[in-house]
Structure 1
C-alpha cells in the first residue's frame, strides 16, 4: 500500500472518526506526516530485528498504521504508549493504547471484524477540542469581516481612482501621488484576498481521497501559495511607501520645496514601487534558503521577518514625524493669519491634501 493511502488512514485515525476528516492546518499536517513516517520506520526496524518468542501461543507483532505492537502472549492485554506523532502528544504522553491477544493467538476483533483497540487515553481532551473549535470559528468570522471590509474598500478606491484619472483638470503631481496611493491600496486588498483564497484552497480543504493529500503537499501548491504571499508582502510595503511619498510631498510643498516639480514625479515612482523591492527580494532569498516551508506564512526565525517589517516601521515613524511637523506649521500659520482672509495657496493645498 503506497504512502499516500497510508497517510489517508493516518489522518482518519488522528481525528478518530471513520467518515469525516476535520480540516487541519498545513503546518500540523506536514509535521504530523513527517513524524508518522519516522514512527512507522522505527516500528518496521523493531519488527525486523526483534527475536521471536521461544514458546507458547502469541499474537504476531504488527504495525496497524496507528501504533506499533510487539509479539504478545495469548490471553494478555498489551499496553503501548501513545504514538509520539500525535499533534497533542504532550498532553497524552502518559497515556496508553491497548490491544488484547486472544487465547487462540489472534488479536481480538470487534463485531464488525475490525481489530479491537482502546485508544481513549490518547484522544485529545473534549474540552480542549471544543475550545479550539470555538477559536477556529472566531477566526473564520474575523476573516469574513475583514474580507467584506477589503471588498468595500476596493469598490470605493476603484471609483476614486477612475475619477482622478478621468478628469484632465485633476491631472497634477499631487493627484498622481494620490492615484498611486489608491492603486497601492487596491493591490494590497486584492493580494490579501487572493492569498487567503489560495490558503483556503490548498490547506483548508477536507481530506476525502488520496489525491487531496498529494495536492496539499505538492510542490506546485506550495509554489503558488508562496508567490501569493510574496505579492502580498510587496503590496503592503508599497502601500506604506506611497504613504511615505505623500508625506514627503506635503513636507516639500510646505517646508522644504524639494521633489515638487512635475519632472520629479519619477522619483516618487521609484520610492513607492521600487523601494519595496529592496526589502522583499532579500526576504524571499532568506525564506528560500533558510525557511522554505509551507506558504512562508510562519516565522520561526523572527530575524527574517524583520527584513520586511523594519522598513514598514521606519517609514511609519518618519511619516508620523513629518505629519507632526506639518501640523505644527499649519497651526502656527493659522494663529498668525486672519482665517476670514486666508490667502496662502500653498497652505490651503497642503491642508486639503493632508485631510
Structure 2
C-alpha cells in the first residue's frame, strides 16, 4: 500500500488521493541511500502535485514512483512512458528509462517475477564505471611516483644546512603539501573509492577522509600561490622580503585552507542528500574551495608576467646573445611551480565526446605527477643542489682514500707549495711504504 496521485476529473482542479496499488517490493538500502530515495520521492510527489494530467477520461496508467526513484507520469494505454534516469549512483542522468502501459491501463508486469517492471538498461553506466576505475589506478600510480621523489627531495633539503634559506623553506612546505595530498588521495581511493561496500555503507571515517583530501588540495594550491608571491616580492623588493612574508605564507598555506575545508564540511554535512557514497559525487558546494583556487591561479598568472618582465629587463643589461633563451627557460620552469599548467584544461569535454577519455587521462597524469615534475626541476635538476651533492661525494671519496692510505702506510707526509707566479697553493701527500710519487690532494676532490 503506497500513496499515489490520482486525478479527480469530476471537480475543478486536482486533488491528491490515497490509492491502494500493488508495487514491487522496495529494495533494502543503507541509511544514506534511503535519504537519497526519500528525497527523490518528495521531489516526485511535488512534481505530480503541480503537473495536471493530460488525460481527462477513460482508462490509463496512473502516475507513480517505483523503487528505483523513477517518477512516472499518467500514460495512455498501449504507450511507453519515458523519463530521465533518476539521480542515483551508477545511473547516467543524461539517459532515459522506459515503462510500458498495457492496453488495460496497468503498468507492465514481468511474468517471471510477477512484479511491475521498467527498462533501466540505458541508465546503467557500466563503461563509465570501468573507465573511472582505470583513471583511479592512473592517479594512484602517479601519486606513488611523486611521493618517492618528493620524499627524497625533502630529505635532501632537510639534511644539508647549506640549503636552509627562505626560498628553500617555501619549497619544503610546497613539497610537504604535495606529499600530504598524494597520501590522502591514495588512502581515499584504496580504502573507499575502490571498495563498493564502503561506498554503500558510507561510514563517517570515509566522509572525514574526503574532507581531508579537499583540505590538502586547497593547501597545495595555496603554497603554489605562496611561491609566486615570494618570487614576485623578492624580485620587486630585493633583499627586503623579511620574516613577515614567510609567516604570511604559513597562514595562507596551512591555516586558510583549514577554514575553507571546515566551512565546506559543515555546509555539505548539513545536506543529507549530498552525503551519500563517501561524498564521491561532485557538489556545487566545492566551489567554496575551488573559488579561491581559481583566484590564486589567476593572480599567479599576473605574478609570472611581472617576474618575466623584470627578468627580461635585467637580462637586457647583460652582454649576452642568449637573453631570449634564458627568459623562455625561466618561464617554463616557473609554470609547474606556480601550477599554471592546470589552465591548459579549463573546460571538460561533453559526455560521450571523443576527447572525453583523453581529457580524463591527461588530468589524472597532470595532477598525480605534478609533485614529481616539481621535485625534478627544483631538486634533482637544480644546479645548487647538484653542486652540493657533488662536493659531498668528493669529500666522501677523499675520506675513503685517506683511510686507505692510513691502512696501507706507516708514515704519511704532507707538504704545501706556493706558485710564485699565480700565488696558487697546492697540498701534496706521500707515504714511506708506497713506492709512488706524491699526490696532490685537490685531485681527489676532482674525482681523480
Structure 1 length-normalised TM: 0.61
Q: 1:86 to 1:236 in 2, by over 3 A?
A: same
Given the alignment of the two structures, is residue 168 of structure 1 paired with residue 173 of structure 2, yes or no? no
8 Å contact 1:253–1:350 — kept in the other structure? no
Query: In the superposition, relative to structure 1, how do residues 341 and 293 fare at CA in structure 2: closer, same or farther (>3 Å)?
Result: closer
| Structure 2 stretches lacking a partner, 5+ long | 1-24, 45-60, 72-82, 84-96, 102-106, 324-328, 338-376, 378-448
Q: Which residue of 2 aligns with 1:92?
A: 98
Are 1:196 and 2:196 matched, yes or no? no
Distance in 2 (alpha carbons) for counterparts of 1:339 and 1:99: 83
Q: Cα deviations across residues 318-345 of structure 1 (Å, max 9, x unaligned)? A: 1111011101111222123223899xxx
CA deviations on 1:4-45 (whole Å, 9 max, x unpaired) are xxxxx8559xxxxxxxxxxx9998676358879xx9xxxxxx
CA gap 1:268/1:80 in 2 versus in 1, 3 angstroms: closer
Cα deviations by residue, 1:59-91 (Å, 9 ceiling, x for unpaired): xxxxxxxxxxxxxxxxxxxx9998612256631
Change (3 A) 1:254 1:225: same
- Equivalent residue for 2:279? 296
CA distance in 2, matches of 1:188, 1:34: 33
Greater RCO, 1 or 2 (C-alpha within 8 Å, sep 6+):
1
1:135 to 128, 133, 136: 128
CA contact (8 A) 1:247 1:323 kept: yes
Instruction: Judge conservation of contact 2:188–2:210 (CA < 8 Å) in 1.
Output: yes
Q: Does 1:31 align with 2:36?
A: yes
The match for 2:118 among 116, 122, 125 is 122
SS in 1 for 2:109: strand
The CA RMSD measured in Å over matched residues stands at 4.0
Corresponding residue number in structure 2 for 1:249: 230
Partner of 1:159: 152
CA distance in 1, matches of 2:333, 2:254: 25
Give the paired residue count.
260
- The answer as to 2:249 corresponding to 1:238 is no
Please report how far the alpha carbon of residue 311 of structure 1 lies from its aligned counterpart in structure 2 after TM superposition.
0.7
8 Å CA contact retained: 1:259, 1:265 = no
Contact 1:97 1:117 (C-alpha < 8 Å) held by counterparts: no
Aligned-partner Cα distance in 2 for 1:143–1:352: 28
Residue in structure 2 matched with residue 284 of structure 1 by the alignment: 265
TM-score, with structure 2 as normaliser: 0.49
Residue 92 of structure 1 and its aligned partner are, at CA, apart by 2.6
* Greater C-alpha Rg: 2
* Larger proportion of helix: 1
Structure 1: where are the runs of 5+ without partners? 1-8, 13-23, 40-78, 101-115, 206-211, 343-347
Distance verdict in 2 for CA 1:326–1:128, change over 3 Å: same
Partner in structure 2 of residue 106 of structure 1: none
